[in-house]
Chain A
Amino acid sequence: MAFIPHTPDDVRTMLAAIGVGTIEQLFEEIPATLRAGELTGIPPAASEMEIGRLMSDRAAADGCPLNFIGAGAYEHHIPAAVWAITTRGEIYSAYTPYQAEASQGTLQTIYEYQTMIASLTGMQVSNASLYDGASALAEACLMAVRAHRRSKSARILMPRAVNPTYRRCASAIAGNQQLSFEEVAFDPASGQTPLDALRRYEGEDVTALVIQQPNFFGVLEEVDALADWGQRHGALLIAVVNPTSLALLKPPGEWGERGVDIVVGEGQPLGVPLAGGGPYFGFMTTRMEHVRQMPGRIVGRTVDLDGRPGYTLTLQAREQHIRRSKATSNICTNQGLLMSAATIYLSLMGPRGLELAASASMARTAELVAALDKAAGLRPVFSGPRFHEALVRLDRPACVVLDEFARRGIAGGFDVARDYPELGHALLVCATETKTDADIATYAATIADILRAPRAA
């Protein structure tokens, strides 16, 4: 019996103590008509060796392609120590730190995480993480509606240049509470969200303006101007940021004259592997004045009976297990394991290491853009400044090019046609610090070769 330790003697001893003859008797309160038959859809048990072989074969079949896809999940070097420590049983197999005295390791890690993320984003307070970047944006929109008491419209301005999946996720999660999302156009030349697109909302009740930096196209927005517009027109500001980029870029807490109100983002670039899309973690920071509207766990430092410093979950009156239907969110868990990995990652990188990873990624993408021009005459779609991702124009549908890349074992980029049909044939590509000169040369030569084939009629 896999993972069940009982010997026949144990079972006899236990049944005797209970005073029944068989295990089956323990289920006597369940009506017989409800009892399940054989589970024909589940294969017989496999040993660890057998399942190990199957998984190894399947992982090998998917290979480890040379990857140039970003679009919200980014391949960075992860120091070996990060997951060596994170998978220690004391971290991996613990649960939410309800018993603070027996969970000081997890609690102190969260406190350190909150400190690092708050500083990275330039804000005062952080929670202990949310599920992922997309759902964190949904939570931020709901939080903005709670926090902005003067605004009655529950209307959120959402630039079209924000990650399309984040936008879908925000409407799926927050849409049930009568929030309305209004799309703000981007400038077709620069790829930035222009102030002009916001003018029509002047004088109207706007609850919040979302600003993604860099935006989905990898383009850097003019965040100061956008933030100042929001502040002038009474909207709260929600920033969606890439955490790696913040080693180089002005943190949202300093955008415009006053900084933003809520910052969220995808934490995956901080030491979390791509892993098919998860588990990742979302981060969220805010101003102290909004802390009681923030969803998720929060850890505070306090003292014990002897005056010794210690850590505990705090402000729990916001949460579902206390407030039930009046809670700020239904969220209970954070993404503790990933938050731990990120804290260790940031400790190993330090301010210098994160800055080097960010600038090398930005430089590698610039080199990739230059190489694509040189090898295949491909040009960026947008003129705005970029971080570590670029949208390049193609002469044929990107999906056709990506099929061919896949045949050659390369994850060649992301096709934006479905989300942005107005952009025509275009491919979103990303090169991080993990890419070498040779990788970039291989990519450029491959796409040049693919594009040499005549276009299908």
Chain B
Amino acid sequence: MTTSASAPAAAEPTIFELSRPGRTAQAQLAPELAAHVPHALRRRQPPLLPEVSELQAVRHYTRLSQMNFSIDTHFYPLGSCTMKYNPRGCNQYAMLPGFLAHHPLAHESLSQGFMACLFELQEMLKDVTGMRAVSLTPMAGAQGEFAGVAMIRAYHRSRGDLARTEIIVPEAAHGTNPATATMCGMKVIEIPCNAEGDCDLKALKRVVGPATAGIMLTNPSTLGVFERTIGAIATLVHDAGGLLYYDGANLNAILGKVRPGDMRFDVIHMNLHKTFSTPHGGGGPGAGAIGVGERLRPFIPVPVVARDGERYRWLDERDVPQSIGRLSGFMGNAGVLLRAYIYMRMVGRDGMGRIGEYATLNANYLLARLRQAGFDAAYPTRRATHEFILTMKRQARDLGVTAMDFAKRLLDFGYHAPTTYFPLLVPECLLIEPTETEALETLDGFVDALIAIQREAEVDAAHVKGAPYTLPVRRLDDVRAAKQLDLTWKPPA
């Protein structure tokens, strides 16, 4: 189908369509100073950038922002993403002029305030995870995972144990786990989970051995349940000479209650943008700090902050000669680290445990109410952790209404959809994570919306399948998007 003259217009034109030759945001212009670019190196055609007034730009991007769902405007129970409130104070105090103006290569004597925050953050993260050393440089969870597996690889190689080339990953794992193992030059071995959501120990026994570099686990698992066999897994893998990697995606569930170090994990990454409430920013920046036990300590990525008496200093490759090296141009996502630091200080020692407790309370309350309303839990015999899975298998079979249809219709009711179709092994699933920052009334409203959609599905399935109706666009043609690639705006011919 092509867009004809009678087709509906876009909710907001592109910024390029607002552009008029010669228009500028005058107050933003730098002084006109002559620069002498060698002739052969000069640009001939100006880039396609909009020529708009300051007000036009402000109004355009404000309008675009209003087309988003966000935590500040909507309940956002996106499972596995921990969409909790991002305190405004964290943003304000991380954006003080002294921090924003701080060049990453500034003299250490001009960086002590900044470095004090990072050092204390390292110490707090060590305590809350039970690890021996922390590096803050990975810029997202996936980069933290990369650092973790790269350290495992470096550890085995440092011992001359070159045969360890396999990483074991449960089939329910986040896609980043196998992708990371591949990026580290490892072979991925997937093992199944049993019907109650625990790791299949028999399958694990069959695959561990002299080629095992390590295992990557999320606990609570991506199935929304605590991995009860963790003790046996740790013994099996360690006895075989492998190491244990903890994917911190679900750390919010057990924060302050159980420490990955006490579960005998050798390395962990934390998603500071989940557990420690730094903003998701429309898809980043994250921060994927890593923590390690004693065996991996010599390999941590640099730089890290050390304290010598009253002064803070950077540790680099000279101090950590076996380091896996640098993962970013400077010090990772420094501003995100400041936000996490402020958040942890405001939550404090006793507050850490309450995060795990109330996140778990909210999830179990939602699950209990939804089951009372007739929805099916994927793991009905298990306690929910900070999140849980509903399966819409029955609705899909009997009514032709899928998990995706429920998700899209929820948008019309003013709720962001839960995670859909992940984990892949549960059919028609919705992975729901309310977080501890949501009030009872909000949870009740969400339950009421799902009940209302279920009733709608029973009497008028087509209506549910046509949702959403109240947003700037209805369901989009993804096939067309992938087949007729339109990735940049082009001026009309």
Contacts and interface: CB of A to CB of B under 8 A. Distances in A.
Nearest to B101: A64
B256 interface: yes
Interface stretch (A79-87, A143-151, A204-212, A371-379): A79-87
A401 to B, nearest CB: 11
8 contacts: A33-B231, A43-B349, A62-B112, A88-B62, A94-B68, A95-B78, A348-B25, A360-B32
Nearest to A274: B103
Contact of A304 (B139, B226, B440, B473): B473
Contacts of B419: 98
Contacts of A343: 15, 61
Contacts of A172: 150, 301, 324-327
A411 B69 CA distance: 42
B163 to A, nearest CB: 16
B322 interface: no
Contacts of A14: 361-362, 364-365, 440
A33 B234 CA distance: 14
A63 to B, nearest CB: 6
B29 interface: yes
B325 A171 contact: yes
B10 A274 contact: no
Contact of A366 (B29, B35, B475): B35
A423 interface: no
A333 interface: yes
B468 interface: yes
A441 interface: no
Contacts of A350: 23-25, 49-52
A2 B30 CA distance: 45
B358 to A, nearest CB: 5
B334 A276 contact: yes
A41 B473 contact: no
B485 A291 contact: yes
A35 B280 CA distance: 30
B236 interface: no
Query: Which label, helix, strand, loop or mixed, suits the secondary structure of the B interface?
Result: loop
Contacts of A394: none
B296 interface: no
B201 interface: no
B164 interface: no
B369 A90 contact: no
A331 B140 contact: yes
Interface string B67-108: 111111110101001011111010111111111111111110
Nearest to B111: A62
Interface in B207-239: 225-226, 228, 230-231
Contact of B188 (A43, A62, A249, A325): A325
Given A327-B182, A364-B33, A34 B262 contact: yes
5 nearest CB pairs, A to B? A45-B348, A89-B72, A41-B127, A277-B330, A59-B98
A273 B480 contact: no
Interface residues of A, number: 208
Interface in B1-38: 1, 3-4, 7-12, 14-16, 23-25, 27-38
A303 B91 contact: no
Contact of A92 (B139, B143, B281, B478): B281
Contacts of B437: 3-5
Contacts of A62: 98-99, 102, 106, 110-114
Given A65-B106, A300-B486, A321 B175 contact: yes
A133 interface: yes
Contacts of B313: none
A4 B347 CA distance: 10
Contact of B42 (A42, A249, A277, A362): A249
A276 B481 CA distance: 39
Interface string A349-378: 111111111111011101000000000000
B96 A56 contact: yes
A47 B348 CA distance: 10
Interface stretch (A228-236, A308-316, A447-455): A308-316
Given A6-B358, A99-B416, A119 B47 contact: yes
B376 to A, nearest CB: 17
Interface string A274-294: 111111110000001001000
Interface stretch (B282-290, B390-398, B454-462): B282-290
B98 A58 contact: yes
A5 B140 CA distance: 29
Contacts of B3: 303, 307, 309
Contacts of B71: 89, 93-94
Contact of A97 (B87, B127, B283): B283
B480 A303 contact: yes
A416 B438 CA distance: 51
A195 interface: no
B116 A308 contact: no
A90 B61 CA distance: 11
A102 interface: yes
A119 B15 CA distance: 14
B139 A19 contact: no
